[in-house]
Structure 1
Amino acid sequence: MASALRTVMTVSIGAAAALGASASAANATPAVSLAPVQVEPALAAAVPAAVGPVMTASLNPLAGTGFNPIDNAVGTQIGDLPVSTSMITGQIADGTNLQELLGR
């Protein structure tokens, strides 16, 4: 009995879908052309608002804490020239943000 009910339901759903597709094709309205939308002003206002928090967020959230894995430097001296990794990792280890790092 359950399989017969499933068969009837499947056939009736398929028939309804076929009739609905042919009816909607017959009553289809012609496509409406829309005026072009100016996205540029909205985008110009939205991008700085979305990117602003990213630019001002700290690149190293552990800066200034007791546990800062980036706050380490290795240095040596080659002849009279001191060489250190703090020149590269110093600003990030101190907690700078992307805006300061890019100089904006």
Structure 2
Amino acid sequence: MARHASPPTPTARRALTALATAGVALGAGAATAAADTRPAVDVVHTRPTSLGHIDPQAGVRVLTAMLPYVTGPVAGLRPNPLAGTGVDPLDNGLGTQLADFKPLTSKMVTGPVAQAPSVGALPVVGQILKG
């Protein structure tokens, strides 16, 4: 009667898989090294190519026309989702007063962001988003 070989153990199977993977990696590395034997391109002696008749203003016009469509969904988002809650970090303020000058507070900067109903309502950002 013919004797059948027993199936390999999990450890032997892992070792064979690792050996096969290493062999494939070495073969791929050797093939890549052999394929890259061509000389490098001499950048100094190449001729410049012409881009043709390209109008740079056309690209700018397309980008500015496309801007409201790309930024439109962002304009409706709330800039401060915590506004009106007890944990609003922009509701805090820090101020100082020097001599008899008008007091300066950080609420001058955080106020428009904290009170704005949407990103489009912010003073500078809203103008940019509308195009």
Q: Taking structure 2 as the reference length, what is the TM-score of the superposition?
A: 0.40
